[in-house]
Amino acid sequence: MRIQHRSLRLPDGTVEIRLLLSPSETRANRADRPTGCLKRLALYFNGKRIMAGSLGKGVTTDPLLTFRLNASRPGQLLEIHWRDDRDNQGRLTIQLP
């Protein structure tokens, strides 16, 4: 799973975060159906879980998720934990602006 991210501090002090989640490979026999589709996603802010969810077959293979977070100070960390349909899992840490 590849995760591309962009975060921007807005004038009201909130941080808008965009995550583009893409499978890392495609099946050789069916290039139109990527493997490693996202199954579980959890977000942790300052070590506390702030969001967790399950995604099913109805979600696109490369979803773009956008959300806002009340981050009090620049430099705070957001952790993204994921698991795909092949039970691969990973983690990404983002330093917020």
pTM to 2 decimal places: 0.79
Q: Provide the b/e sequence for 22-58 (b: ≥16 CB within 10 Å).
A: ebeeeeeeeeeebbbbbbebebbbeeeeeeeeebeee
- Out of 2.60.40.10, 3.90.800.10, 3.30.70.20, 3.20.20.80, which CATH number does the structure's domain 2-95 have? 2.60.40.10
Which sequence spans correspond to the domains of the chain?
A: 2-95
pLDDT single digits (tens) 41-60: 999 998 899 999 988 777 77
Predicted confidence (pLDDT) at residue 73 exceeds the cutoff of 90: no
pLDDT recorded at residue 8 = 95
